[in-house]
């Protein structure tokens, strides 16, 4: 099945993604020409179908390469989770609709959308919570190792406990979406508490200048 923008051929999920992008158009967060630019860019990056499913899109390796080269991401675990956050239908391929919807949140998302996106990235096993173990693995990956530390794991465990004390509002030893949302709304810097999963301002601006060049030339 080819990725398509024909509404009659879309699954319910893909139609929802397009409707979300349309809502973003109405809110002025992204304009029609910019959406068209993202679609055009997708088709220059997407791989032709090589398997029996015939899906045109970005596979895991192609997508991770974009995250690394374009957005400066280096954490393998986080990049894998970002891929899964974009790949809403779990078919191991980022389609054109998923590309537009994901990037519109990446670049122009509201705080609410970014909170939901970051929580989904950090919820490694998809059970609706960020557990102590998940925090430990993400913080261990994202923090620089200090050679002088005899047992760096102990320092990370302490950091997990400090984080829980600050963010675990219902004191159940794990972060629910409600915990995470409240903590981030109270202090926006906690949005990427467990590792960078959104592009920084410099990378965002460079991407937009390249992707939306046609809009700037008008």
For 47, the 3-state DSSP assignment is: strand
pLDDT tens-digit readout, 177-196: 999 999 999 999 999 999 99
Cβ-Cβ contacts under 8 Å for 88 (sequence gap 6 or more) = 13, 17, 98, 101
Contact 142, 78 (CB under 8 A): yes
Q: Give the CATH class of 11-110+198-213.
A: mainly alpha
In this structure, the strands spanning 129-130 and 175-176 are antiparallel
Residue 191 φ/ψ, nearest 5 degrees? -55, -45
CA distance 108 to 100: 11
CA distance 105 to 198: 9
Is the pLDDT at 7 greater than 50? The verdict is no
CA distance 203 to 196: 13
Output the pLDDT for position 174: 97
| CATH code of the region 116-192 | 1.10.238.10
Mean pLDDT of all residues in 161-166: 96
CA distance 39 to 178: 34
Mean pLDDT of all residues in 36-54: 74
- In the chain, residues under CATH classification 1.10.238.10 are 116-192
Query: Rg for the chain (alpha carbons), in Å?
Result: 19
pLDDT tens-digit readout, 52-62: 456 678 999 99
For 11, the 3-state DSSP assignment is: coil
DSSP states along 161-206: HHHHHHH-TT-SSSEEHHHHHHHHHH-GGGGGTTS--S--HHHHHH
Output the pLDDT for position 27: 47
* DSSP 8-state symbol, 5: -
* DSSP 8-state symbol, 29: S
pLDDT tens-digit readout, 93-103: 999 999 999 99
* Owner of token pair 């693995």: 137
């Amino acid at each position: 099945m080819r990725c398509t923008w024909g509404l009659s051929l879309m699954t319910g999920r893909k139609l929802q993604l397009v409707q979300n992008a349309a809502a973003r158009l109405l809110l002025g967060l992204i304009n029609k020409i910019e959406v068209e630019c993202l679609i055009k860019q997708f088709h220059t990056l997407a791989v032709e179908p090589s398997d029996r499913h015939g899906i045109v899109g970005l596979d895991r390796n192609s997508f991770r390469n974009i995250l690394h080269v374009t957005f400066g991401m280096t954490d393998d675990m986080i990049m894998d989770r970002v891929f899964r956050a974009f790949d809403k239908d779990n078919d191991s391929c980022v389609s054109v609709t998923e590309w537009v919807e994901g990037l519109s949140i990446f670049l122009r998302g509201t705080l609410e959308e970014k909170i939901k996106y970051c929580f989904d990235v950090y919820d490694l096993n998809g059970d609706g919570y960020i557990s102590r173990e998940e925090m430990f693995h993400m913080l261990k990956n994202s923090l620089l190792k200090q050679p002088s530390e005899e047992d760096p794991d102990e320092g990370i465990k302490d950091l997990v406990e400090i984080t829980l004390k600050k963010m675990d509002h219902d004191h159940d030893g794990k972060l629910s979406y409600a915990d995470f949302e409240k903590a981030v709304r109270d202090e926006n810097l906690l949005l990427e508490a467990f590792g960078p999963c959104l592009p920084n301002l410099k990378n965002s601006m460079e991407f937009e200048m390249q992707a939306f060049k046609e809009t700037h030339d008008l």
